[in-house]
Amino acid sequence: MTSISCGGSHCAVILSSGDLFTWGNGSHGALGLADKTSKYDPQRVRIKASPGIVEVSCGKNHTLAIGSKGEVFSCGDNRNG
């Protein structure tokens, strides 16, 4: 594990491989799993970042991730832009 972050009701972790896993309340899409279903076991997020994710930060209802080449990925509540 290289990084972990927890938001209002969800968590994310980056493994040393660069893979991102999320779990918790999915009702706002903050898990990045293409649905709004809550998950109680870590689920791998399919992000096209090569070679992987290097940072992750969870907010109340969203998640931000940074790829190794500086790409920014976001998912979750977008009511306020």
40 in any annotated domain: yes
81 in any annotated domain: no
35 in any annotated domain: yes
- Could you identify the residue written with the tokens 């927890």? 6
pLDDT in tens, the chain (81 residues): 789 999 999 999 999 999 999 999 999 999 999 899 999 999 999 988 778 999 999 999 999 999 999 999 999 988 766
31 in any annotated domain: yes
What's the pTM? Answer: 0.91
Long-range contacts of 67-76 (CB under 8 A, 24+ apart): 68/18, 73/32, 73/47, 73/49, 75/29, 75/30, 75/31, 75/32, 76/28, 76/29, 76/30, 76/32
Find the domain containing 8 and state its range: 3-76
The number of distinct structural domains making up the chain is 1
CA distance 19 to 80: 28
